[in-house]
């Protein structure tokens, strides 16, 4: 197949997928509108992007971002961190969000790995 035939085939495939691409674009526009509405609702401003001390105390940007995530994704609250230190930390945070203190976690594939032990067992 030469370059001319390849370009013709690519054009034909692209035309056949036009409806799919239009749907992707519509979804993208809907989601962008949802995010922009959340930015407006929570009054995102330059102050949200200011530097912090790293401890998360009175961090307007992080608090605002978490509210935006909750609104956009339909959650009760959001936990958004770029500073999970490792996979165990991320898994433990997810489990703390999903399980209540009195609930048990049942592992069907065997014991959890050792680094989760101290995070999950009292």
The per-residue pLDDT for range 25-36, each reduced to its tens digit, is 999 999 999 999
d(CA 72, CA 30): 11
The per-residue pLDDT for range 62-76, each reduced to its tens digit, is 889 999 999 999 999
Q: At 54, is the pLDDT very low, low, confident or very high (cuts 50, 70, 90)?
A: low
Question: What are the residue ranges spanned by the domains of the chain?
Answer: 84-122
Alpha helical stretches, state H, the chain: 3-16, 18-41, 60-73, 87-98, 114-120
Residue 83 has pLDDT above 80, yes or no: no
Residue 56 has pLDDT above 80, yes or no: no
d(CA 83, CA 94): 14
Tokens at residue 71, please?
């609104």
For residue 55, what pLDDT is reported? 64
The total number of residues shown for the chain amounts to: 122
């Amino acid at each position: 197949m030469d370059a001319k035939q390849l370009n013709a085939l690519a054009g034909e495939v692209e035309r056949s997928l036009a409806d799919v691409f239009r749907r992707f674009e519509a979804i993208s526009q809907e989601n962008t509108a949802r995010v922009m509405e959340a930015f407006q609702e929570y009054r995102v401003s330059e102050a949200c992007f200011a530097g912090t001390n790293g401890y998360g105390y009175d961090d307007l940007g992080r608090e605002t971002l978490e509210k935006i995530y909750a609104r956009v994704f339909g959650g009760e609250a959001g936990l958004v961190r770029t500073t999970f230190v490792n996979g165990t930390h991320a898994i433990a945070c997810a489990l703390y969000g999903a399980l209540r203190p009195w609930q048990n976690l049942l592992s069907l594939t065997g014991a959890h790995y050792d680094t989760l032990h101290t995070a999950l067992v009292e």
